[in-house]
Each structure stands twice: as structure tokens, then as C-alpha cells.
Structure 1
Amino acid sequence: MAQTATAYRDEAPIAALLEGQPLFRGMSPELRATFAQAAQLQSLNKGSVLFLQDDEAEWFYLIISGWVKLFTETMDGDEAVIDMVSNGHLIGDSAILEDSIHSFGAAAVEPVKALRLPSSLLKQAITDDHKTALAMLGALSRHRKRQSREIESLTLQNASQRIGCFLLRLCDPNGQMPLELTLPYDKSLIAARLGMKSETFSRALNKLRKETTLSIKGSMVTVSDLDELSVYVCSACSNEFPCKDLHG
């Protein structure tokens, strides 16, 4: 599997990173130390592949910094972006419940730091430790809720509202107006993440600008009225801003 990475080791910060994760927080210190000893911190270049769809799941990853694209391939060979994840996200862990085969691929879209952990240890921990098994079920439940929210968004929100919803995820609800945001990655990836073609994204973005007071110049976004944006977006949603699913 093609990947450009430099692995380095320092168990003290690794242990701290694991302790901050719900999956590892309830483990005994001894079990958490076992994961820390087996883990590797990696620096990944833009374009590096962490794993591909249908690869055997030897490792799972905790993203420390940077953005990682999760994707699948269609029967025609096209790529479908199913998620974009950054710091604090675990990826590839659920593969141990799916015949230890990855159901999607993952690749860095910018320089990324990630913690790589052996899947065999997690599988053994789930078998031996009920707290780890419950934590894994909790993680799967949160992921399912997030997927349900995204299905609702695709079904009920128009393209402009979906872009607005994406921008709301970047907003601090307690921030001082106007809010200055920087798009976290390329607009083409944002479009793919929201299930749009680039031309649809451009039209929807222009409509969003016309129907709200948003200002967008390149990768810089200015939100002058957060209430206005949230009303525009959340009118086609079963939840209200600030929404735990947007920020969780």
C-alpha cells in the first residue's frame, strides 16, 4: 500500500492522546499502556494513503492534526468522498467488526499527523474487557446518529442549505460577530463531501451569498449574522443550532 510516512516513538504523549479518547478512557492503565507501547506516531505527506477499500485491517488510526479524506470507489471507478475527518477522529477501528476488511479508503489531503495502532490489540481488548466493548458500541452508536443526521440533510436541505450547514460546523456559537472563518480544505473537496458536483456547488454558494449576508472571498468566509445563517439552514432540519451533531 503506497504511503509516505515517518514513524517516531514517544510513549508519554501517546498515552496522553489515548487517554483523551472515549474508546480508551475507560480502559485500565495497564491495558492503555499496552496500546501506547504498540502505537506509532506518523507524519504523512499530502496524498499519502493510510489504507484502501478492501484492504486487510491491520491498523486503525487516531488523527492528531490535518485532514483525511474517507472515500469509496463506484463500479465505474469514480471516487465518492464519504467523509472528511481531522483531529480527534478514530478511523478504521470498526473494520474489526466487518471481517477485518476496510469498507472504505483513507488518504491525507494535506500534511497529517496520526497515531497508528494495531487492530489485533483492539480486537483482543474487546473480547477480554467489557468496558472496551461498551466503549466500542458507544462509538458505533455516535457514528450511526451522525449518519442519520447526514441522510436527513441530503433529503431535506437544498444545496445552499447544505453548504450553510457545513459552515455552521465551523462557527463558534459564542463567538463575537463578525466571525472570520477559513475553509478547512479545497472547495472541490467540500463539494464532494456534500454530495455535489463542482458546478452545483458554485451555483449553490452564489445563492447562499445572495440570500444571506455571508461574505466569501477565496477560502475566507465572514459570518456577520449567525442567527440569520442558522435560521436559513435549520429551517429544513429537525434540530436547532448549536447542534451537538454539528460539533460532535
Structure 2
Amino acid sequence: MAQIATAYRDEAPIAAHLESQPLFRGMAPELRATFIQAAQMQTLSKGSILFLQDDESEWFYLILSGWVKLFTETMDGDEAVIDMVSNGHLIGDSAILEDGIHSFGAAAVEPVTAIRLPSSLLKQAITDDHKTALAMLGSLSRHRKRQSREIESLTLQNASQRIGCFLLRLCNPDVPMPLTLTLPYDKSLIAARLGMKSETFSRALNKLRTETTLAIKGSVVTISDLDELSGYVCSACSNEFPCRDLHS
């Protein structure tokens, strides 16, 4: 098992990152300072485990850079990827509302920078401070909306449309065409994230290429017409492009 490479303290950037989060922004300065003092900045190597399913919750994390895989294990031992998260996402915080046990695991799929904070401190803050409790409820609500949108995608969109939707979320609509982007992580992980087997992903990707002007070479994607791609994708969705990302 890969280990955390480095853990260190530097309160200035930690404070700035925490203050950018809705969960901490509304806290009294004295309470927020307690989190800043207890926080640790970390660098994690590829493959590092942040926590495993059914582990007791000791820490929760704010991801600053890199990608983290959230996963569960099926009864027969297979791994199911439930999400891929990157900068700006809090993970592991909801475990304090689930008897202090993580309901999923988290692992770095590339080098990651994160801030870790004690779960016990968050539990105490929610108990003692109603603003923190309300902020936590708001975070859970945003996560629920994001999950609902994922369920809608799995239910209403075909495999090619789900891949197209994934690509659209990586796009900046204000960038002049053609737009070139690099897939953020391995295609096998993208397939797992979208609820597909690798062979299904390959077939759906080929179909997307033939039905749009999308060009893909390795991990590089070129989009010459965003309106065409969004029209193909969003016809089976209740949202219109660009849809606002809902961070958990």
C-alpha cells in the first residue's frame, strides 16, 4: 500500500484554503482558527490510501490538487468506483453523521495535495455551533443534488451521451473553438466512473466520434463545435450546457 509522502504545516495557505470553503467561511474566527491550527497540509503519492470503507473516521480531507478515487467493494470483492474528485472537494466529512465509520474508501490516482483535519473537531463544532451545523447541511444538500444528477444521467442518457456529458464538464464555453483538452485520468477509470465496462466505453466512444465531429487521439480530445456536442448530449437531460458543477 502506498503511503503518504509528506505531512507539514504552513498556516497561511491552510487558512486561505479553508476560508474558501462554505463549511468554514461562516464560522466564528475563533472556531475557524481551531481548525487551522489542527490542520495538516499533505502530499500523497499515486496509490496512497486516504481511508478505507468501514474504517473509523479519524480525518476528513480538502483536496487541493490531483484526483482522488472514491470506491466501495462489492460482496464478491470487486471494486466499484462511485466518484472521482479533485480540487475544492471535501471528502470523509459525512462519516461523522454515519456512526463515525467511512461508507466508502478513498485513494489517490495520481500525486495529490490535500489538507487533512480531525473528524472529532468537526463533530464537536457541529454540536456546539449552529452555523457550522447549517453549513454542514448545505454541503450535504449540494452533494445530494449532485448525486441526483448522476442518477438522472445513468437513467436517461445512453453510454455515448454519458461520455459526452463527462467531456462537456471539462469544457470552458468561453474558449474559442476548436477546444483541445486532455483527459484528466486513465480511460479505464473514466469508464468505471460512468458505470461502464471498458469494452462498453470503447464502443460508446467510437459511436460518439462517428455521430459528432469530436476527435480523440490517445488522451487528447479536440472539440470543434460545442453546440453540436451539447445538442447530442443534453437532449436526454433536464439541464442545459453549461451546467453548474455542484461540489460536495
TM-score range, shorter chain: over 0.9
How many Å separate the matches in 2 of 1:96 and 1:198? 35
Partners of 2:142 and 2:246 within 8 A in 1: no
Equivalences for residues 179-194 of structure 1 within 5 A:
179-194=179-194
- Give the equivalent residue in structure 2 for 1:227: 227
Match of 1:68 in 2: 68
For normalisation by structure 1, the TM-score amounts to 0.98
How far apart, in 1, do the equivalents of 2:236 and 2:147 lie?
A: 17
Instruction: Write the deviation string for residues 82-107 of structure 1: whole angstroms up to 9, x where unpaired.
Output: 00000000000000000000000000
Partner of 1:34: 34
Task: Provide structure 2 residue ranges, at least 5 long, that are not aligned to the other structure.
Answer: none
Q: Distance in 2 between matches of 1:204 and 1:2?
A: 33
Aligned 8 A contact 1:45 1:108 in 2: yes
Task: Give 3-state SS (helix, strand or coil) of 1:95's partner.
Answer: helix
Aligned length: 248
The one-letter code sitting in structure 1 at the alignment partner of 2:194 is L
Identity %: 89
How far apart are residue 2 of structure 1 and its match?
A: 6.1
* Structure 1, gaps ≥5 residues long: none
Q: Within 5 A, what are the aligned runs for 1:153-168?
A: 153-168=153-168
Closer, same or farther in 2 for the Cα pair 1:247/1:119, shift >3 Å?
A: closer
Structure 1 stretches of 4+ with a deviation exceeding 6 A read: none
- 1:48 aligned residue: 48
Measured after TM superposition, the shift of residue 224 of structure 1 is 0.3
Preserved contact between residue 182 and residue 220 of structure 2 (Cα < 8 Å): yes
| Cα distance in structure 2, aligned partners of 1:176 and 1:22 | 32
**1:137-148 aligned within 5 A:** 137-148=137-148
Write the distance in 2 (CA, Å) between the matches of 1:40 and 1:84. 22
Indicate if the aligned counterparts of 2:145 and 2:246 stay in contact, CA closer than 8 A. no
Inter-partner Cα distance in structure 2 for 1:51 and 1:246: 23
Distance 1:160 1:214, change over 3 A: same
Distance 1:62 1:245 in 2: 17
- 1:83 to 2:83 alignment: yes
